[in-house]
Structure 1
């Protein structure tokens, strides 16, 4: 398993205001020094560009506190699913229209950009499996007559999020620029 952590600090008047980790699956875990104190950053942004096309995405970001089910990395060849940034997105596969992210420790905010062929529901659950919140977007393929643009931002702010699911009613969906905060 591979991972990489880059910290970006925003400094204002000699104080660190916030720290965000850019999580990439490109650092050999054997290089991890177990005697080092690990400080989890408050914010994590997933670097999908470090994934390879058609790579099954499950545990690559586990060191940063998140695992996935039913996800692959993809460079969309269909212009209806444009990436928001870079060239790689996550796509729900092999089962169409469903993707899940599970967090090792509860988070308080999750954000991503969704493009989908069907109405998509993003749901947040606590560690007991109870629904905390959900948001919905309409179909938003590029080049369609949808009033919702592709790469629509979906965000949930709520304490104790342990799992996020996406459901697109057997449609296709892609995710880009995923981030979360403790």
Structure 2
């Protein structure tokens, strides 16, 4: 059961002086359902469930230092190498809520698989180094890429603010990877929209 699901009109964030902004023609302002984790039955088939077109994951129901993998399977998403954290390091601020996602136990990598194809994925990213978001189809063919060109942690002197939105857009995205070579990063406000 969804805990306090809320509907919220999402404004597409425009970024000044960058080449990694979302084109508002790709994903218009949409109603996004905020969803929390559910207990999932073993026989659950996400392809058969009617879901909202766009979903924002509510991370506040996760425990700090909880390994995140199948908690959101009901909504068609599975994480790999992911940990929920309540950051104590002020260099990695939260944008909303209590928890953030980070790549762990392998630093600098986090992967997300979708049980049904999506056409847009976004997250607010704070990273210690350059970070690349890649979107792949079911055959692992690269569909789209978005790059944070430099680290944007607090007090890094970067022109890019913490919690900068990165997004990928393509038809039939089945997997997304966040990769920050030899660095650390956090994700907040993780959102995605289904292809149909």
Give the TM-score normalised by the residue count of structure 1. 0.86
**Contact 1:7/1:19, CA 8 A, preserved across alignment:** no
Q: Distance in 2 between matches of 1:9 and 1:96?
A: 32
Number of equivalences: 169
Per-residue deviation at 1:62? 0.4
What is the CA RMSD across the aligned residues, in angstroms? Answer: 2.2
Match of 1:55 in 2: 66
1:126 paired residue among 137, 140, 158: 137
**Contact 2:80/2:112, CA 8 A, preserved across alignment:** yes
Q: Does the residue aligned with 1:144 lie in a helix, a strand or coil?
A: coil
1:160 paired residue among 149, 167, 172: 172
Per-residue deviation at 1:21? 2.5
User: 1:132-143 maps to which residues of 2 (within 5 A)?
Assistant: 132-137=143-148, 138-143=150-155
Match of 2:184 in 1: 172
2:2 paired residue among 1, 4, 11: 4
Match of 2:12 in 1: none
Deviation string, structure 1 residues 33-52 (Cα, Å, up to 9, x no partner): x9xx8422101110011111
Unaligned runs of 5+ in 2: 10-28
Structure richer in strand, relative to its length:
1
Q: Distance in 1 between matches of 2:191 and 2:30?
A: 14
Judging changes above 3 Å, is the alpha-carbon distance between structure 1 residues 113 and 9 closer, same or farther for their aligned structure 2 residues? Answer: closer
Q: Does the residue aligned with 2:2 lie in a helix, a strand or coil?
A: strand
Per-residue deviation at 1:20? 2.9
Q: Does 1:145 align with 2:157?
A: yes
Match of 1:41 in 2: 52
Give the TM-score normalised by the residue count of structure 2. 0.80
Judging changes above 3 Å, is the alpha-carbon distance between structure 1 residues 19 and 144 closer, same or farther for their aligned structure 2 residues? Answer: closer
